[in-house]
Amino acid sequence: MGDTRIPQLRPGTAWVATLLLAGSFGPAVAGGLVVCNDCSDPAGAAGKGGAGTVLVSDFQGRKLWAFENRFDSTAQRYRSQPRPVPASIAEAFARIANITDAAQAVITARQGVAGPGMAFPDGFEDANAALVAADSDLQELLGTALARRFAGAGPGSATLNDLAFELTALGLEVTGRSIGLDGVTINLVWRDGSRTLMKLRRDAITRAEYVSGASEDADGNKLPDSSIASDGGSYVGEYRFSDRALIDDWLHAAAQFGIPIAGTPGPRMSCIWENHALACHFH
């Protein structure tokens, strides 16, 4: 059958995947992104993608190609010249294509640790989970940087960055439909051992969302954040701190949300729920 052409795909939409999953045949096209599953002729499929840079994705075969299309006025068609897929986009594609169950949809990035897996976003060397938990502006900055890192967007070509986000939205749509998820969860492990959870949804692909109530310090203590307003009871319990820096982090975050804390700061603290509010004290 003929090619299926669809409206321009924007970050956070999934027109290609919708048609693909509905059973359309032939390459599905959105701007410079072409879907060609079980693709036997990626260059031919790329010719359907219009002028300029084109990505051809085969999620079933876990393959990705890049081409540069130039119009041949004599032949009255586009000619596709292969070009390298940027390494960051290739890594992002592989990361999504390899998600086959819910466990693999939780991705860990470790600050300051080189090696396989998703790299921690740059620019947050002086932060940790406690600072992020207490600062909504920092949460947004981190979410934007994390989304760019996950998609493989970089400081160079705006065209490639747009395609990277579109490819990520498509990949999460296809993967999500198969395993029943609406995105991926990213577990950020900071240099000091504290943890932040972020959620990247296929319908909001340009910024990961901070997961309230899930942040922990290096000792595993739950860190105060905006969830206190709706779920303060989840903070009830005993806390143990192995050093003063962890105590200071907890006190800083607690101060942003008006949590009263009695006693001299030390290694042991308890929190209770009374008079519809959280109250804590050091032992």
Q: What is the pLDDT of residues 141-182, one digit of tens each?
A: 999 999 999 999 988 789 999 999 999 999 999 888 888 888
Give the span between the Cα atoms of 195 and 266, in whole angstroms. Answer: 22
Domain count along the chain:
2
Q: What's the pLDDT at 72?
A: 84
For residue 223, tell me if it sits in a domain.
no
| pLDDT of 129 higher than 90 | yes
For residue 272, tell me if it sits in a domain.
yes
pTM: 0.85
Q: Based on the fold, state whether residues 100 and 182 are members of the same structural domain.
A: yes
Q: Based on the fold, state whether residues 134 and 70 are members of the same structural domain.
A: yes
Q: How confident is the model at residue 196 (pLDDT cuts 50, 70, 90)?
A: very high
Q: What's the pLDDT at 42?
A: 95
Q: Based on the fold, state whether residues 251 and 152 are members of the same structural domain.
A: no
For residue 61, tell me if it sits in a domain.
yes
Q: What's the pLDDT at 134?
A: 97
For residue 258, tell me if it sits in a domain.
yes
Q: Based on the fold, state whether residues 206 and 233 are members of the same structural domain.
A: no
Per-chain mean pLDDT for the chain: 88
The stretch 244-257 carries a mean pLDDT of: 96
| pLDDT of 15 higher than 50 | no
The stretch 86-109 carries a mean pLDDT of: 94
For residue 190, tell me if it sits in a domain.
yes
| pLDDT of 116 higher than 80 | no
Q: Based on the fold, state whether residues 54 and 12 are members of the same structural domain.
A: yes
% the chain with pLDDT above 70 = 89
Q: Based on the fold, state whether residues 46 and 169 are members of the same structural domain.
A: yes
Q: Based on the fold, state whether residues 190 and 239 are members of the same structural domain.
A: no
* Parent domain of 80: 4-210
Query: Which residues contact residue 9 at a Cβ distance below 8 angstroms, ignoring those fewer than 6 apart?
Result: 15, 16, 30, 31, 33, 166, 169, 170
Q: Based on the fold, state whether residues 33 and 117 are members of the same structural domain.
A: yes
Q: Based on the fold, state whether residues 232 and 205 are members of the same structural domain.
A: no
Q: Based on the fold, state whether residues 73 and 168 are members of the same structural domain.
A: yes
Which pLDDT tens digit goes with each residue over 17-59?
Answer: 344 444 343 455 445 899 998 999 999 999 988 889 999 999 8
The stretch 3-9 carries a mean pLDDT of: 31
Give burial (CB, 10 Å; 0-12/13-18/19+) of 84: exposed
Q: What's the pLDDT at 27?
A: 53
Q: Based on the fold, state whether residues 180 and 125 are members of the same structural domain.
A: yes
For residue 216, tell me if it sits in a domain.
no
For residue 183, tell me if it sits in a domain.
yes
For residue 221, tell me if it sits in a domain.
no
Q: Based on the fold, state whether residues 152 and 233 are members of the same structural domain.
A: no
Residue 44 to residues 2, 31, 81, 209, Cα–Cα distance (Å):
13, 16, 10, 38
